[in-house]
């Protein structure tokens, strides 16, 4: 059986984040990728200059087309900039009994550009978070969802992750990439013990699409039949290596993309 995952997110015209990063990640990890485009962005490594939202009924039509034909084993949800899009996606996934939902609450691009309207945060909390197998916020996103200050250490990260669990997510992977120190630490928290995922922090400005890539790598692992802990572990390793290899690429003049195909292009 061919493992299939679908990404529901925004398109990045520069190819480093969003739908494009997700499909590259699926392909690199041996998963067939389908896509539902929820928004178009005029974007490059320096920032986002425009966003064009896809009408809600067309988002629903894409989801219906994919799920009525493909055996989708995992879903990655990224940028949904409007409340109506969030409600539409939640209802469609419920109707199709979607499984293994990985929700990356994309609010701000790596460049600092805001991607989620204020009124959409409530819809995200109420409509989609309770449907997620795992929620994958970075430190600023976790703080925004909770109306709190950004966590400063692992203890505060754990506290915020447990507050997010109370919103209905079954598991939370709170990402420490925006933190300080020689380690980049993520915490996976659900019903059992806290799982600490750590990697050496890599000094590079080329981190465009990191969050998209991690969440889609988790979805890829789930689509292949891994449990969440194993999928998160493998995703962390993949993203870390993709960041370490990113300086092999020369793309743009701002925050460049990860090297999603470091293994496939290794001979070069």
**Active-site entry in 212, 213, 221, 246:** 212
Name which of 177, 172, 182, 176 is nearest 154 in CA terms.
Answer: 176
**Active-site entry in 45, 110, 210, 246:** 210
Q: Where are any strands of DSSP class E within the chain?
A: 4-12, 32-44, 47-53, 74-77, 101-103, 134-135, 172-174, 183-189, 195-200
Is 97 marked active-site? no
Is 212 marked active-site? yes
Is 204 marked active-site? no
Is 207 marked active-site? yes
**Active-site entry in 179, 209, 221, 256:** 209
Contact (CB, 8 A) for 121 and 115: no
**Active-site entry in 24, 76, 131, 175:** 175
Name which of 135, 187, 142 is nearest 160 in CA terms.
Answer: 142
Cross-strand partners of 42: 50
Is 112 marked active-site? no
Q: In angstroms, rounded to a whole number, what is the distance separating the alpha carbons of residues 141 and 157?
A: 12
**Active-site entry in 7, 207, 213, 240:** 207
Three-state DSSP state, 117 = coil
Is 246 marked active-site? no
Quickly list DSSP for 59-84.
HHHHHHHHHTTS---EEEE----SHH
Cross-strand partners of 9: 37
Cross-strand partners of 4: 32
What crossing angle do the helices spanning 154-165 and 139-146 adopt, rounded to 10°?
A: 50
Name which of 215, 140, 153 is nearest 183 in CA terms.
Answer: 153
**Active-site entry in 211, 236, 246, 256:** 211
At residue 40, φ and ψ (nearest 5 deg) are -110, 135
List residues with catalytic annotation: 175, 207, 209-212
């Amino acid at each position: 059986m061919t493992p299939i995952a679908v990404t529901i997110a925004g398109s990045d015209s520069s190819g480093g984040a969003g739908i494009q990063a997700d499909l590259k990640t699926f392909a690199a990890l041996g998963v067939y990728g389908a896509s539902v485009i929820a928004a178009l962005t005029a974007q490059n490594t320096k920032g986002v200059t425009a966003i064009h939202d896809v009408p809600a009924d067309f988002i629903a039509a894409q989801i219906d087309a994919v799920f009525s034909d493909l055996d989708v084993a995992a879903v990655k949800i990224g940028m949904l900039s409007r409340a109506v899009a969030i409600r539409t996606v939640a209802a469609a996934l419920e109707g199709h009994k979607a499984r293994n939902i990985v929700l990356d609450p994309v609010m701000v691009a790596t460049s600092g550009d805001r991607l989620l309207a204020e009124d959409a945060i409530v819809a995200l909390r109420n409509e989609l978070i309770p449907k997620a197998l795992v929620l994958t916020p970075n430190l600023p996103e976790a703080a925004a969802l909770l109306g709190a200050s950004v966590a400063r250490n692992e203890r505060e990260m754990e506290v915020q992750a447990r507050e997010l669990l109370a919103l209905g997510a079954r598991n939370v992977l709170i990402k420490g990439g925006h933190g300080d120190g020689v380690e980049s630490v993520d915490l996976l928290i659900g019903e059992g013990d806290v799982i600490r995922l750590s990697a050496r922090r890599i000094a590079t400005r080329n981190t465009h699409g990191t969050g998209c890539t991690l969440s889609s790598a988790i979805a890829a692992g789930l689509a292949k039949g891994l449990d969440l802990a194993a999928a998160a572990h493998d995703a962390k390793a993949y993203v870390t290596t993709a960041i370490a290899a990113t300086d092999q690429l020369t793309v743009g003049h701002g925050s460049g993309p990860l090297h999603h195909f470091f293994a496939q292009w290794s001979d070069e």
